[in-house]
Structure 1
Amino acid sequence: MIRKVEIADVEVLAKIAKQAFRETFAHDNTEEQLQEYFEEAYNLRVLLTELEDPDSESYFIMHEEEIAGFLKVNWGNAQTERELDNAFEIQRLYVLQTYQGFGLGKQLFEFALELAEKNGFSWAWLGVWEHNTKAQAFYNRYGFEKFSQHRFMVGQKVDTDWLLKKKLR
């Protein structure tokens, strides 16, 4: 089951977001870098602002009554980049390690694409770390292609994210 994240869920969202990011990227970042990123991206004030933004939505995916991961999508001014007209950004898509292998990431991703198509967007796009070849291959299977790149800060460390896009209409 996928359900929209509500304002009352902000503390749970912060906990899940930090856990998922740590599980995914701790191998390539120091604890200090992770903490700096968490303070910048996942503090309660920032998450509340995102949840209140009319150009952004977040969703939890459930597995047997437990929150297994989350998705954040943006359009309009909420997008992290605005290189494409009438575009829909899939900004965050994470499944906790415990729940990987159940097809939940695929389910969340397809849900995001359905949202984009249902709402009449011309493009779906996302950023993926340049060294995350598994995720790149996954997105390529859906027809996403690299069109640009941008810097992604984890604390003071600069990573490069590839920007991938898919034409929807």
Structure 2
Amino acid sequence: MIVYPERLPRPTLRDLSYAQADNVLKTKMASGYTRLRRVSLNPPTVKQAVYRIHKSQAAIFEGFIRHALDDGARSFRDKVHTPLGFREHTVRFITNPLSRRKPISRLYWEYSAEVEIEDFATMTAIETLDAVMYPHTYEEFVQAIDMSTYYTESWK
């Protein structure tokens, strides 16, 4: 898998935004209620990315897109800013950043693109439960349950 070069700048955080694909299928029922179902465990997340790159690195960035990523058609590994910090993800350009480029000064170029992120990093179910139950842990909760109060003679 191709890796985004460390020497090239990441998208600016100021202009960065994320949108997760709607993961719930809604069906209107005859009763008037709406039935909701989760579609996928890992819906794609799309980020609007803006790269501001010094002209000395802009040619490298364009060459990377054109040659290594086949004009943006290939997926690659990159560090993505998440609430858990920078985590490595598999990503791909939905729109080619070379199609939306412009000089913003004599020294800097700006590239805009939509980037699809596979399996956006989130806490696991156990990590979430531990964070919600803090300062207690899931194991402490399970050990504190006294099952003898639920056991009756009628179960025999």
Please indicate, yes or no, whether the TM-score normalized by the shorter chain is above 0.5: no
TM (norm. structure 1) is: 0.24
More helix by share: 1
**Greater Rg, structure 1 or structure 2?**
2
